[in-house]
Amino acid sequence: MKQFTRGWMGRAAVAPGVACLRGFTTIELLIAIVVLGLLMAVALPSYQSSLRKSRRAEAITALSNIQQAQERHRSTRATFASDLTAAPTATPPGLGLPATVTPSGYYNLTIASPSATGYEARAAAVAGTSQANDGNCAVMAVRMAGGNLRYGAWPNVGSIDWTPANTDPNRCWAR
């Protein structure tokens, strides 16, 4: 009869050629779950922040399209347009853009205060989307006033300071 000796950590040694099945203990499994939870707690907010920043590009593109359409509109008319979706041949004429929401549905687009010398175009995050939690960048805007173009952003509450001293303190356009 073969004799077995005690191996490492007091476990019984097995004969050569015999497989030794070994699993995880409950403590090892719990430690792995805690480490995974900590990694997720750190990584998930960072990932969501990166997604929000990337989705701002959609708002910037939409506002740029509005700017270009307003310039085309103003080149043949006395004032800037007040309607995004009305056809340029409608009464009153509009910009003829396809929608008042960005293609992915994260921002509502509006035009405020159109006149002969300026307008303000806004891209406001849709409530219930992750963009609504974009901090000070939930509403992005561009303002044309007297031939000068200014960019700004602010949270859902309040309004932007359009004074010349304010150069987008939230830095939403630069991120």
pLDDT score for 10: 55
Over residues 56-105, the pLDDT tens digits come to 999 999 999 999 999 999 999 999 999 999 898 888 888 989 889 999 99
**At residue 45, does pLDDT exceed 90?**
no
Q: Confidence class of residue 5 from pLDDT cuts 50, 70 and 90?
A: low
pLDDT score for 34: 94
| Average pLDDT of the residues of the chain | 84
pLDDT score for 11: 57
pLDDT score for 16: 62
How far apart are the C-alpha atoms of 3 and 124, rounded to whole Å? 78
- CA max distance for the chain: 107
107's CB contacts (< 8 A; 6+ apart) are: 58, 59, 62, 101, 123, 124, 125, 126, 131, 140
